[in-house]
Amino acid sequence: MDETAQTPTTRRIRVLVAYDGTEYHGWQVQPGFATIQGVLEEIISGIEGSPVHVAGSGRTDAGVHALAQVAAFTLKNPIPPWNLRKAINRLLPPAIRINTVEEVHADFHPRFDSVAKTYRYTFHRTEIVPPMDARYVHHHPYALNEEWMREAAGRFVGTHDFRPFAAKDERYIRGQSTVRTIFSSDLHREGDRLIYTVRGSGFLKHMVRNIAGTLIECGRGNLPHNMLPRKSGQTAPARGLTLVSVEY
């Protein structure tokens, strides 16, 4: 045995991932389904030559997109970050891309270390959706009072119990906190699109999609726009939702 041989040191790697979630069953690995985490783990494990767990900043739902999902994993492979990015992207399907790769401290965790996330939900308001946009917007051409919707959006700012806006989940039934802080919550027009942008300390399962559905009901006059609604509208479709950024 060569006593001078050195054991490879481990490195904690943080990556910024963009993806079109249309064909994927969300972020989290699920047996029998194609997921973003599953694809990344398969490819990165192949590069490493042993199983690699890829942790994400959050679990985006099936069909939800991301401009800047943050993920992290630990490697022994000495490949430089810029070459690692090339190697992963060469093997990834076109719907998933690694935009940046960097080494971080060994204890970094993309979910537990985050301090804020920003999501964007996009409604398309005209009769016809351009084919190139159809995968990324919720088509809603029906009458809405957009001023009421803007006022309702602002009511979500602050620290509240968002249980009425969360999907059913055993974690919440067992008593996990459903209190979250929303730092900003804005709705504005961009041409044919109505765009809702929300930045918060964290989000519950389906929370942003339920808020988007609630804004529709406020725009219809079915829920109050001049106070924080006490119940949710229908869950808006996943395709209109994009994770924009994660802050640390």
Secondary structure (DSSP) of 162-201: -GGGS---HHHHTT---EEEEEEEEEEEETTEEEEEEEES
* b/e burial code for range 151-162 (CB count within 10 A of at least 16 → b): bbbebbbeebeb
Question: How many other CB atoms sit within 10 Å of the CB of residue 169?
Answer: 13
Residue the block writes with tokens 């959706």: 129
- Catalytic residue, candidates 61, 161, 169, 192: 61
- Catalytic site includes residue 61: yes
Cα–Cα distance, 117 to 160 (Å, whole number): 16
Give the residue from 62, 36, 70 showing the smallest Cα distance to 244. 70
Residue the block writes with tokens 């959006």: 153
DSSP 245: E
Longest dimension (CA), the chain: 77
Beta pairing, strands 179-190 & 158-161: antiparallel
| Residues with active-site annotation | 61
